[in-house]
Structure 1
Amino acid sequence: MIELVSRKSVFEKLPKIGNEIHLIQKSMYEDCFTETGFPLTKNQLFELQSESDHLEIKNVLDYDFELIKVRSNINYSYSKYFKCIANQLDNLLSETKTENFYIISHLKQDFFHAMKSQYKNKRFRKVYSKLENKLKLGSYNEAIKICKNELIDFLEILNQIDTIGAGVPEYILICDENDKFCFYFHYSREITFWFFSKEELFFHKLFSKHNFQILS
């Protein structure tokens, strides 16, 4: 099952993740200002404002937040890398008993923006065609809800998108439905996990069991 949902509904469902996204957006906005003036053009400012959610964050009780970066211990060839990592992560995440996941960017950006700017890149077009077939859309900037049976395909697609090209949102978060953890891919082949409920203690065992090396 794949369901297109609003970003607002995800923030209401996952207030801890919503809070972290709010902090990222706030930090990006504040970083635009310096003592010497405002470094962005009006168009750049307008773009940043349009990509922000202007969230009204719910009061979230103090929660534990832990960040852990991991990388696969297995040396896959490039041709097999994305599919094998998807399988490796899928096996790990199956042990969390999570039935549904949400996919959301830290900014309200078009998931297909990079494809439009790099349309001549054949590998990029190929992987984005997979996403387009999944969503039945060629432009989308809200959020996606998927069941665990769809997870492995999206893991492969999103990892390729984050690895291949520029113009991709820095954080495309894959979140569990219970607001306990989320993670995202890096072009460097690292994977960053955010934990909100002391889940890192449980995941340490899973990382070791499923051949992931903890980097930090």
Structure 2
Amino acid sequence: MRLRNKPWAKEKILQHPQQVIPEPEKYAGKWRELFQNENPIHLEIGTGKGKFITEMGKKFPEINFIGIEAYDSVIVTALDRLLESGLENVKLIRMNARMLTEIFGAGEVERIYLNFSDPWPKRRHEKRRLTHKNFLQMYERILVPNGEIHLKTDNQQFFEYSLVSFSQYGFVLKEVSLDLHQSEFQKENIMTEYEEKFSQKGNKIFRCAVYLPEKA
């Protein structure tokens, strides 16, 4: 995906520290203090333009949502959505996913969403995939016991790779759909921007939910 440069994006982000959290490492292990409640924390990695996380925030006010995104020119659109919504249970962080264990404490997150992550199809880029074992190790650290990962993608090869990677790491498959929009899970599904785009083209959407059992 080629990003359109928005030179004004950084300044706008800095103007809204209540929505896009500056110096998020200060809140590692203390995110509930920022939200001022004890509600569960759900994390979307690669929040894009923010459609999914803002709609989830509206639907589930009893959950604290955090969306992370690596690019100013993308997260600024998510910021606009969040400002328009007026939601207080959604926060954004401009960061790279490799920093997860610096930003979140052990067992602080109840669920992680991976929506239409870059599949990085070339073998030499395998370690960049968000379902590579190196990322799974970070997820294990920040997830609560029995915490879940929910994944959606239109890329069958990435989906198959992810199922194998989850299984080899020790995650247990809870739900799976090879055609989400024709499944029982569609009723509760909230679409992302990419999901709308791909489904309009006739692409099948693959989905799974996995969890990591508590160790004896």
Structure 1-normalised TM-score?
A: 0.26
Larger radius of gyration: 1
Q: Which structure has the higher relative contact order (CA within 8 Å, separation 6+)?
A: 1
Structure 2-normalised TM-score?
A: 0.26
